[in-house]
Amino acid sequence: MFFMCSFLTIVQVVNSTNTETKKCLENFAVNITDGEHNNGVIQKDGINYTTRDFYTEGDSIFGCVCNIKPCVRKCCGPNEIVTDGCTNANYTFTFDIYNGTTLTPITESDFYVLHNLECDYGHFRLIPNFDDPSWVDNFYVQLNGSLYAPFVDEKKTVYGIDEYCLETFNEGDGNIFSAVICLANTEEPPKIVNFIGMIISMPFLLLTFIAYALLPDRNLHMKALMFYVINLMFSYLLLVIIQLSESQFAEATCKSLGYFCLFFFLVSFFWMNVICIDIWWGFSGLRGFTGSKKTAERKRFLFYCAYAWGMPVLHVLVVFIIDILANQNSVLKPDIGNGQCFLRRGFPELLYFYGPMAILITINIVLFAITAIKIRRIKSETAMLKKEDSKRHSYENDRQIFNLYVKLLFAMGVNWSMEIISWAVIWAEEAPEAIWYLTDFCNAIYGVFIFFIFVFKRSIWKLLKKRYYTFIGKHHLAHSMTMTNTTRVTSYSTATSTIQETAHGGDNDTSTLKHDP
């Protein structure tokens, strides 16, 4: 025990000594090992470092330059600007200093410039408009080297040189001087929770797609669900890649990831809308496409494909054109790949992502309500014909109807409405972000719910088992399994078949709801 205490004491002394001799943090220090040594003073690049301004680490000597003169931080290296990443442009770095009343041009010689800021939790870019003093992205470099950004966050207006950098961005039509600010680590916990949820979801979404792809005689409803889950999986994958590695991408790669992420999210939501429309169509009594049953279903499927893929293509194309043509200071500019790999926060997110999502979710909720009312009406009509049924059968019917409502709710994606509400409330700063962690996580693990509702069921496993027996050549076993099931319903020709089709996710069991296994 004595030796243990002695060892811990020695460790504490060593750590304390290292802390005292290290006069500044590593990202504020410069290597001055090759400087001129003269009576305990080291001179390099015209700066004199006394013993209180440098420390030794191994064979190297590091000077705390920011203890001697004010420092600012440049995002790229010397003579570089941002043109699809940091590129050499033989560029002289200049900026304006704010002395409290006016902006005064300052050259690199007046400050010591540190390079290559690293943000652990992401970053965002400020594009100023100094002609408008109230412009939200305006920022001002102070005499001590800190950055004053009065309109970005009312809780934090001053950023140190470890939290920001300055750089010139070549946008093609000219150079734009900007500031890049690191996001605070307070945003990391919800990101980690959401990322874990999405990472958990992706294999379940893939398994759902594979399971339905292996089923024989897939109907339209099953195909729509397949397209929905696979596109949602791709959107989750891209979003995780963007958020975890955003700062490592070149601008062109960042833009591409942002556009593809937006596209796959929109495609998944449009296929979810297709599922809602198709279910509602079965109850509406409207006439479908002309021709035989298979021909009509094929025409309807092609129509759904054109809708679910064509609308996102048009939307992303419009976003791309606006991003090219819109003025840099315009609130309409999506700014994908400009400091972030997705849409710029605020109004662009609302206009190009959450707005279309809200419209589709609203349509889905309306269709869900109409479908639920219709199912309830059919149940009531059926109950009138079966007054002699026992209470047990009545209970079983209620349980199956409840299960059906839950499946419809998840198939139609009504849960995504909470994503829109949470974003709107956080954007309006009406409530702490932490209260939405649970709903965001539930949306992130949405793929798990989809798998257990539409795949993890006895009838689906029977069909997969039959498919397996057919594949390995044991047709007698596959045929024996077929004889235990009745003929599968393949269309929404009647209201009763629609209920059964939706409840079973397209399986081949045509028993009534109360006999659902």
Give the model's confidence band at 367: pLDDT under 50 very low, under 70 low, under 90 confident, else very high. confident
| Closest residue by Cα to residue 226 from 293, 300, 305, 299 | 305
Q: What pLDDT score was predicted for residue 517?
A: 31
Tens digit of each residue's pLDDT (9 = 90 or more) over 100-158: 666 677 665 678 888 878 777 778 888 888 788 888 888 888 888 888 888 877 778 88
Among 73-77, 102-106, 340-344, 444-448, top mean pLDDT goes to 73-77
* Position 8 pLDDT exceeds 80: no
Alpha-carbon separation of residue 166 from 18, 104, 117, 121, 177 (angstroms): 32, 16, 9, 18, 8
What does the pLDDT read at residue 19? 40
List CB contacts of 275: < 8 A, sequence separation 6 or more.
Answer: 221, 224, 225, 228, 411, 412
The backbone torsions φ and ψ at residue 141, rounded to the nearest 5 degrees and listed phi first, read -80, 130
Instruction: Yes or no: say if 143 and 97 are a contact pair by the CB < 8 Å rule.
Output: yes
Highest mean pLDDT among 384-388, 390-394, 405-409, 472-476: 472-476
Q: Which long-range contacts (CB under 8 A, 24 or more apart) does 209-217 make?
A: 209/233, 211/455, 211/460, 211/464, 212/454, 212/455, 212/506, 214/464, 214/467, 215/460, 215/463, 215/464, 215/467, 215/506, 216/463, 216/466, 216/467, 216/470, 217/488, 217/490, 217/508
What is the rounded average pLDDT of the residues 335-342? 80
Please tell me which residue, 237 or 492, carries the higher pLDDT value: 237
- 3-class secondary structure per residue, 443-474: HHCHHHHHHHHHCCCHHHHHHHHHHHHHHCCC
Work out the number of other CB atoms within 10 angstroms of the CB of residue 470: 16
> Which range (62-76, 308-322, 486-500) has the least confidence?
486-500
The residue-averaged pLDDT of 146-175 equals 83
Separation CA 227–CA 272 (nearest Å):
9
Both structure tokens of 324: 């090219």
The strand order across the sheet containing 41-44 reads: 36-38, 41-44, 47-49
Range 312-349 burial, b when 16+ CB lie within 10 A, else e: beebbeebeebbeeeebeeeebbbbbbbbbbbbeeebb
User: Given this model, what pLDDT does residue 314 score?
Assistant: 97
- 291-333 pLDDT, tens per residue? 677 788 888 889 999 999 999 999 999 999 998 888 766 778 8
Rounded distance, CA 344 to CA 314, Å?
Answer: 20
The phi, psi pair for 63, rounded to 5°, reads -105, 140
Using a 10 angstrom Cβ sphere, with 0-12 exposed, 13-18 middle and 19 or more buried, the burial of residue 90 is exposed
210 CB-contact burial (10 Å; exposed 0-12 / middle 13-18 / buried 19+): middle
Give the pLDDT confidence score for residue 452 in this predicted structure. Answer: 86
- Residue range 451-476, pLDDT digits in tens: 888 888 777 777 777 777 776 766 65
First to last CA, the chain: 65
Number of C-alpha atoms within 13 angstroms, CB side, residue 97? Answer: 15
Arithmetic mean of pLDDT, 169-175: 77
Question: Structure tokens of 18?
Answer: 């290292």
Q: If pLDDT is split at 50, 70 and 90, which confidence band does 505 have? A: very low
Q: What is the pLDDT of residues 14-27, one digit of tens each?
A: 443 344 456 677 77
| 300 within 8 A of 220, measured Cβ to Cβ | yes
Pairing of strands 112-115, 71-74: parallel
Q: Residue 103, Cβ neighbours under 10 Å: how many?
A: 13
| CA-based nearest residue to 128, from 81, 72, 178 | 178
pLDDT tier, 507 (very low <50, low <70, confident <90, very high otherwise): very low
Residue 235: pLDDT band by 50, 70, 90 thresholds? very high
Whole-number pLDDT of residue 20 = 42
Strands 60-63 and 30-31: antiparallel
Q: What is the pLDDT of residue 68?
A: 87
Residue 278 reports pLDDT greater than 90 = no
489 pLDDT above the threshold of 60: no
Is a pLDDT exceeding 80 seen at residue 204? yes
Measure the CA angle with vertex 311, ends 440 and 260; round to 5°: 55
CA gyration radius for the chain? 31
Predicted confidence band of residue 233 (pLDDT cuts 50, 70, 90): very high
Higher pLDDT, 1 or 360: 360
Residue 118, classed as helix, strand or coil, is coil
Query: What is the residue whose two structure tokens read 């069909």?
Result: 463
| Pure H helices in 130-187 | none
Look at 12 and 202; give whichever has higher pLDDT. Answer: 202
As to burial, measured by CB atoms within 10 angstroms (0-12 exposed, 13-18 middle, 19+ buried), residue 199 is middle
pLDDT of amino acid 348: 86
pLDDT at 275: 83
Of residues 27 and 254, the one with the higher pLDDT is 254
In angstroms, rounded to a whole number, what is the distance separating the alpha carbons of residues 169 and 174?
8
Domains and CATH numbers, the chain: 21-67 (no CATH), 71-183 (2.170.180.11), 186-515 (1.20.1070.10)
Largest CA distance in the chain: 107
C-alpha to C-alpha distance for 92 and 140, rounded to whole angstroms: 19
pLDDT value, residue 15: 41
pLDDT at residue 500, rounded to an integer: 42
Asked if residue 499 has pLDDT above 50, the reply is: no
Is residue 228 within 8 A of residue 235, CB to CB? The reply is: no
Q: Please state, in angstroms and rounded to a whole number, the distance separating the CA atoms of residues 68 and 227.
A: 61
Angle, CA 122 vertex, CA 119 and CA 128 arms, to 5° = 90
Short-list 184, 169, 102, CA closest to 141: 102
| Residue given tokens 């009065």 in the structure block | 150
pLDDT at residue 395 tops 60: no
